[in-house]
Structure formats: structure tokens, C-alpha cells
């Protein structure tokens, strides 16, 4: 009789898990909304499960891989980023892991775009004025004004999947676009966007002639009205261009005092103490964050300083919070894919990209 594959999911990922049940896999789901303690993950792995479905909240490192040595066949992560999984340790133990690349591309890009709009047009401050009954009169410029996104210049830091999707949305708002990416430059895409910008102007759809180009990081930071970050979290030693604290006192100091920072990538890409200082001392005009160095955001975070409240928008890692099921499905595909391939040979794969590989 064929062996039943056993899977432990560290989080309820919804109905998609039925895909695995329908294929006869035995599934156990951690029932609480918060992440399980690491000790429980290690215990489950030690008990001989074949697959582990994880989220970005779970630290998957040598301790977990050691516990699963010879038994654990795959770690299938439901998230685009996988900085919580040690690639080095996965390779050392030859245990493949998967992530759900590209399932949140448009969702994350549009959230970044809306964050930028909320910041520029002061939506939070404006709603407070109304709700707190401080809206005493209509006046052309009092008590404050917002500013348009349309026609402004944005820098896209990281032109991978989400960065390119953000470019597409910004082009629709007649923005000029600087791109910066030390590892992957998609000139074909950028040229196509330029053609569309030219056509919009030629046909009278856009009033201005807009442009898009790759530039150096210095130009991207120093010239833009908005800077939107779309990089993976890469610590020192993981890349020749690490992104840990890419935004620090020095780089925040390079931005214009009128500029806004938007971060939907990973929290540790921004040095939060430096950002709070930059906002307090008006080095930049504002910031909108969806991700933090520590999540959930601690009660004593400097980002909660009331002095910067009106210029610092804070969201609860919510760019991925849309109703689509592709993420959970992707994680299940990842698990199923690896069980199938495990029989052949386990390579030190590190990361499998998953789409459509459930057999």
C-alpha cells in the first residue's frame, strides 16, 4: 500500500488545503491565529512529517532541518518572500523549499500605489478632521492641502515582479519613473512603457510627455518625489547588494525633504529608528509602511511617535490581504510537487518556483 504523506501546516491557509486532502494526504493544521512556537514546529518535524507548510512568521533554520533529517521532504511556504527560511541550511540538509512567487504581484503593487495616494493626499488626516468634528469651514488651503500623485516622479527600487507591476500603475497616472535594480534590469518592459507614455501624449490622453529610465541609486533617491521599495530582504553575505537597512540615515538623507517613502517589501529593509528620526527632523515629508523590523509592530516603536503621526502611515502587513486564493493554492502545489519529485532525487534546490506544477 502506498505510504500516506503527512503534512503539518503552521497556519490555517483555507480551503486550498483540501487539494492535498483529496489526494489522500494526512493534514494537521495549527489551529490558533498566531504563529506556533518554534518548539512545536521542531516537535512536529521530529515526529516524521513529510511536508511542512509555513508562513513568513516561522523561522525555518538548521534546528528545523536537523529535526527533519532523512524524513522531511519539503517546506512549502505561503508567501512571496522567504527570508524566514535559511537557504543555506536548506541546501546543507538538501531539503527543498517552495514559495508562492507571483501570486501577489498586482495585489501588492496596487496596495503600494494606494499607500502612496493616502500619504500624498493626506487621507488619514483629512478623515480625522471630519470624524473629530474639526472641519469648521471650507477654505481654499486651510487647514492643510494634499498634493497630487499625477505628474510626479517616482523611483522604483527593485524592478522584479512587483516593481514592474507598480511601474505599470504609475505610468497610468502620468508619473515620470526612475528605476533602480543592481541585479535585474528589464529594458524591454521599460521601453514598452516609454512607448505607451509617448502614445498617450501623441493622442492627447496625457498632457505631459512622461519618461522612464534606469538610473543609479543616488539619482533614484535624490531626484524623486516618491520612492517605492520592492526588493527582497537580503542580509549581508546573502547578496552582493544586500537590502538589510538599505534605507538608513545616509540614504534617507539623500532623499528630497518633500519626498515620500513607501515600503511594502520587508521591514528590515528600512532602519526604523533612522526613519523615525528622518520624519521627526523633516529630512523627508512622509512615509507609508506595510512591513516592519518586528511584526506585529511593538507598542513602543518610534514609528508610533505622535509627533510624526500625520506623516507616517502604518498598515499591518496588509498588501497581501486580498481575497484571492492563489497563495494558499500555491503553497499546496508546492507541497504536492515536491512529494512527487522526491522519489526521483532530492537536489539541493533551495527554491522551486511553483506555478502549475501540481501533478
Beta bridge pairs of residue 306: none
Q: Which candidate in 43, 235, 295, 353 is catalytic?
A: 295
Residue 67 in 3-state DSSP?
helix
Cell (9 digits) for 267: 521591514
Distance (Å, whole) CA 62 – CA 85: 9
3: left (phi over 0), alpha (psi -120 to 50) or beta: beta
Distance (Å, whole) CA 269 – CA 234: 8
Task: Check if the beta carbon of residue 7 is closer than 8 Å to that of residue 53.
Answer: yes
> 8 or 82: whose CB is closer to ligand NAD?
82
Reply yes or no on whether 139 is catalytic.
Answer: no
Q: How far is CA 305 from CA 49, 251, 297, in A?
A: 45, 22, 13
243 near ligand NAD, rule: CB under 6 A: yes
In whole angstroms, the minimum distance from the beta carbon of 300 to ligand NAD comes to 23
Distance (Å, whole) CA 336 – CA 329: 10
In whole angstroms, the minimum distance from the beta carbon of 141 to ligand NAD comes to 34
Q: Which candidate in 200, 230, 245, 266 is catalytic?
A: 266
104 near ligand NAD, rule: CB under 6 A: yes
179 near ligand NAD, rule: CB under 6 A: no
77 near ligand NAD, rule: CB under 6 A: no
Can you give the length of the chain in residues? 359
Among 73, 152, 161, 313, interactor with ligand NAD by CB under 6 A: 161
Among 10, 84, 108, 341, interactor with ligand NAD by CB under 6 A: 108
Reply yes or no on whether 304 is catalytic.
Answer: no
Cell (9 digits) for 1: 500500500
Task: Check if the beta carbon of residue 173 is closer than 8 Å to that of residue 149.
Answer: yes
Touching ligand NAD, residues 187-206 (CB under 6 A): none
330 near ligand NAD, rule: CB under 6 A: no
In whole angstroms, the minimum distance from the beta carbon of 24 to ligand NAD comes to 31
Q: Which residues in this chain contact ligand NAD in the complex, by CB under 6 A? A: 80-81, 101, 104-105, 108, 157-163, 180-184, 230-234, 239, 241, 243, 246, 264-266, 290-291, 317, 319-320
| Catalytic site positions | 266, 295, 317
Amino acid at each position: 500500500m502506498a505510504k500516506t504523506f503527512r503534512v503539518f501546516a503552521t497556519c490555517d491557509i483555507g480551503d486550498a488545503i483540501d487539494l492535498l486532502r483529496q489526494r489522500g494526504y494526512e493534514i494537521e493544521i495549527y489551529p490558533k491565529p498566531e504563529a506556533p512556537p518554534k518548539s512545536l514546529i521542531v516537535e512536529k518535524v521530529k515526529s516524521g512529517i513529510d511536508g511542512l507548510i509555513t508562513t513568513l512568521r516561522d523561522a525555518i533554520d538548521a534546528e528545523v532541518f536537523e529535526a527533519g533529517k532523512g524524513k522531511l521532504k519539503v517546506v512549502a511556504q505561503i508567501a512571496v518572500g522567504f527570508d524566514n527560511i535559511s537557504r543555506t541550511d536548506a541546501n546543507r540538509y538538501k531539503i527543498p523549499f517552495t514559495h508562492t512567487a507571483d501570486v501577489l504581484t498586482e495585489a501588492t503593487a496596487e496596495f503600494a500605489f494606494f499607500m502612496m495616494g493616502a500619504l500624498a493626499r493626506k487621507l488619514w488626516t483629512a478623515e480625522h478632521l471630519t470624524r473629530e468634528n474639526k472641519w469648521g469651514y471650507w477654505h481654499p488651503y486651510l487647514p492643510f492641502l494634499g498634493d497630487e500623485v499625477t505628474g510626479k516622479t517616482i523611483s522604483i527600487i527593485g524592478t522584479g515582479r512587483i516593481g514592474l507591476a507598480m511601474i505599470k500603475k504609475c505610468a497610468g497616472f502620468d508619473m515620470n519613473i526612475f528605476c533602480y535594480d543592481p541585479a535585474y534590469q528589464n529594458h524591454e518592459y521599460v521601453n514598452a512603457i516609454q512607448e505607451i507614455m509617448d502614445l498617450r501624449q501623441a493622442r492627447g490622453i496625457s498632457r505631459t510627455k512622461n519618461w522612464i529610465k534606469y538610473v543609479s541609486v543616488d539619482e533614484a533617491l535624490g531626484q524623486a518625489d516618491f520612492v517605492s521599495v520592492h526588493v527582497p530582504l537580503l542580509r549581508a553575505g546573502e547578496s552582493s547588494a544586500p537590502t538589510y537597512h538599505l534605507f538608513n540615515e545616509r540614504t534617507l538623507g539623500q532623499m528630497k525633504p518633500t519626498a515620500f517613502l513607501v515600503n511594502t517589501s520587508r521591514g528590515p529593509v528600512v532602519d526604523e529608528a533612522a526613519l523615525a528620526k528622518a520624519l521627526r527632523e523633516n529630512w523627508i515629508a512622509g512615509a507609508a509602511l506595510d512591513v516592519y523590523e518586528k511584526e506585529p509592530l511593538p507598542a513602543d516603536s518610534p514609528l508610533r511617535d505622535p509627533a510624526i503621526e500625520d506623516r507616517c502611515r502604518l498598515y499591518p502587513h496588509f498588501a497581501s490581504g486580498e481575497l484571492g486564493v492563489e497563495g494558499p493554492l500555491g503553497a499546496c502545489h508546492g507541497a504536492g510537487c515536491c512529494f512527487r519529485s522526491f522519489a526521483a532525487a532530492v537536489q539541493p534546490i533551495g527554491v522551486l518556483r511553483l506555478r502549475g506544477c501540481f501533478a
